[in-house]
Amino acid sequence: MRKSTARPGSVTKLPTRTAADDAPSPKAAATPHRKPTALPKPQAAKRRFQNIDRSIRARNAQLTNGMSVNASQAAWLDWGRHLAQAPGRQQALAERAVENSRKFWLSMFGIAEGFTPRRDDSRFAHDGWDSPPFNIWKQGYLAMEDWWTAATSEVRGMRHKSVERVGFQAQQILDAMAPSNFPLTNPEVVAKTLESGGRNLTDGARNFLEDAVRELSGEAKPMPEGFQVGENIACTPGEVVFRNRLMELIQYAPTTDKVHSEPILIVPAWIMKYYILDLSQKNSLIRYLVSQGFTVFCISWVNPDASYADCGLNEYRKQGVMAAVDAVSTIVPDQKIHACGYCLGGTILSIAAATMAREHDTRLASVTLLAAQTDFTEAGEVTIFLDESQIAYLEDMMWDQGYLDQDQMAGAFQALRAEELVWARAIRRYLLGEQEKPFDIAAWNADATRMPYKMHAQYLRGLFLENRLTGGRFAVDGKVIALRDIAVPLFIVGTEKDHIAPWRSVYKIGLFNEAEQVFVLTSGGHNSGILSEPGHRGRQYRIGHRAAEYHYMDPDTWLARHAVQDGSWWEEWACFLAEKSSGAMVPPPLMGAPQAGLPPLEPAPGSYVLQM
């Protein structure tokens, strides 16, 4: 096993490009370069004027971290106009305000029970919130929150997108105003201050200063202490056996005398580093698969800079998924491949698999999609940020930068769960003076990546906004593809608390494909639900099997008909893969294929994963 030579926070330079780096696969031929055709003068002038506007919008977008002010204003105007024309709704809100006031004062005198926080709201868990004066601030806040939640719910005639956006932004403001965020109105902070003689506030001030200096200087957040890529995370032994401009392909060393003849190819999301699937030894999905007698390959995506601005979805398909399929087929010849995609990796894998089916490429044995969406009509809370105005704003910012920066991307996901990821963290770190406990997922989460302008723009517009893939309008090489063409067995995993790929959205692939399908719904969120190793306490899942061309079952009916089981879904997946294999156990293949031009290049985890 190779130890990483990169220091935390150091920058690993991108490797020098060669002609071979641009090849989409080991078998692909070089494509001659063509000079761009010059635009006619009227078109060139029009483009110049458009670029002036785009540059201005890009600068504005940087000031708002990519959020469109126009989209926000339009939502509030839509809400205000419809509410102004709804006197009945106004009367209902006025009566609710009176009732909330009455309930608040009665609770203060102990005559009636007051407002109770949401079940998932941990801000008021401390016992001090039940004593004056803290209970007054708590009840007043909850009364206000209840009223605004009712006020920003849908008014008949409003655009649905406006409803979501107004409610979301109102909650953001309410979260910022919560009494738990201020030292004098938070009983836990007051108690800690008295107990420590104010030490928590001095420690918190130091933490705040450190974070502020790092933010202002643009310094990358360091890897949490005690974790190092290649040492105790991303440390399953293996070799990089193929590399091109977009990815490295890692082949993992076998740990069993015999292996299943069919290999596994994992396509992770390029939104973060691949090693979410290879964290600590105890919860590494890759290490588990290797221990079960599978030959495992995994893509490690490059961390793109501005030079990758023109890389689109098709480049990620060809130079990513298909290049990996070609390399695996060369190293393990004459065997079909179990392909697995996680999050965005599952989306691009489904596109690649449908294209392969259209072209009668039969090299896949099965397709597994982990928390991956193919239909985006119910794509969850992230769609709050996405409409024509918002995407145009993001496109111009990415056009100017050449990529979407990791901090700009992380900000959107933090906003979705601001109560937990922003304010609760700030309270612990700045008011209670606590240091964050280092753990493997936090280390991975801090190791973010960028996304190329063209690819992300195509993803947001073509898939999220226009839903072309399941709408029969997604073309690859000029021809529309269809998910129904994928005939190999599918293993689909959704997670119960997923804010990024809601499980009902993940489940919808059953509407667009008639192949044999296993659907698993596991406890946890987008990442924690996937990291569900055997022996993990409290893990549960539901599993259902659908024969080929069987009638569709809606998700709520499916949920009602499939009982909860204790344990890890990993074991179910291993059984599925073994069942869909030939059954033959063979000696492990060599690492790489030197005789075919694919020698091992360097030990895992490779170079791309170290790029900052």
Q: Annotated active-site positions, please?
A: 343
- The DSSP call for residue 427 is I
Burial code of 554-582, b = ≥16 C-beta within 10 A, e = fewer? ebeebbeebeeeeebbbebbbebbbebbe
- Are the beta carbons of 186 and 131 closer than 8 angstroms? no
**Cβ 495 vs Cβ 351: under 8 Å:** no
The encoded tokens of residue 524 equal 């946890």
Query: What one-character-per-residue DSSP string does 464-530 give?
Result: IIT-TTTTT--EETTEE--GGG--S-EEEEEETT-SSS-HHHHHGGGGT--S-EEEEEESS-TTTTT
CA atoms within 13 A on the CB side of 61: 26
β-pairing verdict for 337-342 and 296-301: unpaired
Rounded CA-CA distance 543/454 in Å is 38
Q: Before 179, cis peptide (omega within 30)?
A: no
Question: What single letter denotes the amino acid at residue 142?
Answer: L
- Tokens, residue 231: 């040492």
**Beta strands 337-342 and 364-370, pairing class:** parallel
Distance in angstroms (rounded) separating the CA atoms of residues 291 and 497: 29
Question: Which residue is associated with the tokens 């990358």?
Answer: 220
Q: Decide if 303 contacts 376 (C-beta within 8 A).
A: no
Q: Which token pair is 121?
A: 């709201």
Structure-block tokens of residue 151: 């006020």
- How far is Cα 230 from Cα 223, in angstroms, rounded to an integer? 13
Containing H/E element for 30? none
Q: Which residues contact 229 (CB under 8 A, 6 or more apart)?
A: 4, 6, 223, 275, 447, 605, 609, 610
Token pair of 46, please? 């029009």
**Residue 129 three-state SS:** helix
Burial class (CB in 10 A: 0-12, 13-18, 19+), 68: buried
Q: How many CB atoms lie within 10 A of CB 507?
A: 23
CA 283 to each of CA 84, 301, 344, 441: distance values in angstroms, whole numbers, following the listed order = 54, 21, 21, 10
Distance CA 311, CA 324 (A): 17
Contact 303, 611 (CB under 8 A): yes
CA–CA separation, 118 and 129 (whole Å):
15
Separation CA 279–CA 609 (nearest Å): 13
First-residue to last-residue Cα distance in the chain:
22
Q: Is 584 exposed, middle or buried (0-12, 13-18, 19+ CB in 10 A)?
A: exposed
DSSP string, 537-570: TT-EEEEEEE-TTPPP--HHHHHHHS--EES-HH
